[in-house]
Amino acid sequence: MKTFEIPEFYHSPLITQIKSYRKLQDPRKRDLSPTYIDFGPVGFYIARHFGFCYGVENAIEISFKAVNENPGKRIFLLSQMIHNPNVNKDLTDNGVQFLQDTNGKQLISFDELTPNDVVIIPAFGATLEVEELLKQKGIEVQKYNTTCPFVERVWKKSEQIGKENYTIIIHGKYTHEETRATFSRSAQSAPAIVVKDLTEAKKLSDFITGKKDANLFYEEFKDKYSANFDINKHLQQVGVINQTTMLATETQEIAEHFKQVMIAKYGEDNLKQHFADTRDTLCYATNENQDATYGLLKTDADLAIVVGGYNSSNTSHLVELLEQKFPTYFISSDKEIESNTLIHHFDYPNQKRLSTNDFIPKKEKVNIILTSGASCPDVVVEKVLNKLLSYFKGIKTKEEAFSFTNQ
């Protein structure tokens, strides 16, 4: 796989050492068990896969290239390049300005843009409408387009099944940048609709089976379907694609649900005419990080720390999995750990910040899970590890704790 040139300050010698060791021991990535680092009074279960993915490294490389190649020019990001506050701050510190926020709200009017300006397309991609607007302004949109190749693969799949007359069902958060971009492109080739989760998928299937009055559809799915969507016509043939950072198992559940609905309505012999197989739209990094999290669930840890941007979809799903078994704290950086007794963390479903006292149990030996989302720099994870280590006495040195990597 291609390697990227990203700023050295995102790298962590400690995390690199762990990842290099695991890659050497398990080059085919078959072992999903975490790496255990024993510091004596505290041990860490480090996820098998975490941190920057291909798409994020690609976006960072292109964004800093835009900065370096355009001294004196105004440089804009369409919206947050990735969902990580540290990386986005590094770009704004270098003079990059955001045109929109993460929900598409305009921060700087497009009217202010000139052909001499540089606009970076974020890793999530952009809607066709926005791309066309930028072109009309005389801005070259492809030069610094950081759209993740795996997102583009979803677009190609949606175009393919759309041309085969399938309606496109997108599993995603309809306000998310990636989902908006995917919806825009899907709607060019076929009717399209967004479902957030399995619950919404089941509501939609009630219209397919006729359990619900068709007239209720337009209110229940307001703003989530393409123009001229005909409930009586456009749900006879469907295919499921996804926002690449959603929970992979839920995308599979949603696809399987619609498959069974179509079998029940049209018969198994006619399935291919009514349901498109789209399993290959799942992102490899999302899959790997989530699979590695299932490996963490098999441990005897006392708590879990997940590091990432608070608006990061892929990070939120790691939290969702881990909190099934462990007290789990979603933090953006080591600064959220105020002391050995107080941690500030994020409640993603309710979108609010919480504070928890005595988060580290008073035990002779404490085991902590540590992982991060696909847009979190390794150096941020290392800082969290160092902060937690500072609360324990009599710990082993890092050389002693990491001695296994030299074996």
For residue range 46-97, list pLDDT tens digits in order. 999 999 988 899 999 999 999 999 999 999 999 887 888 889 999 999 999 9
Asked if 405 and 37 touch (Cβ cutoff 8 Å), the reply is no
φ/ψ of residue 40, rounded to 5: 100, -100
Residue 353, pLDDT score: 96
Residue range 149-280 in CATH 3.40.1010.20? yes
Positions of the chain with pLDDT lower than 50, given as ranges: none
The domains of the chain are located at 8-53+285-406, 54-136, 149-280
Is 178 catalytic? The answer is yes
CATH number of 8-53+285-406: 3.40.1010.20
| Run of H or E residues at 224 | none
Residue 285, pLDDT score: 76
Smallest Cα–Cα separation from 251: which of 283, 275, 218?
283
**Amino acid (1-letter code) at residue 100:** Q
**Cα–Cα distance between 181 and 243 in angstroms, integer?**
10
Residue 65, pLDDT score: 95
CATH class of 54-136: alpha beta
Same-fold call for 8-53+285-406 versus 54-136: no
Residue 403, pLDDT score: 84
* Residue at token pair 């209720």: 216
DSSP H helices in 169-237: 177-189, 198-209, 217-220
Give the total residue count for the chain: 407
Please give the model's pTM, rounded to 2 decimal places: 0.88
Residue 239, pLDDT score: 96
| Strand duo 35-38 + 42-46: pairing | antiparallel
Catalytic residue among 57, 178, 200, 382: 178
- C-alpha torsion sign, points 148, 150, 156, 158: negative
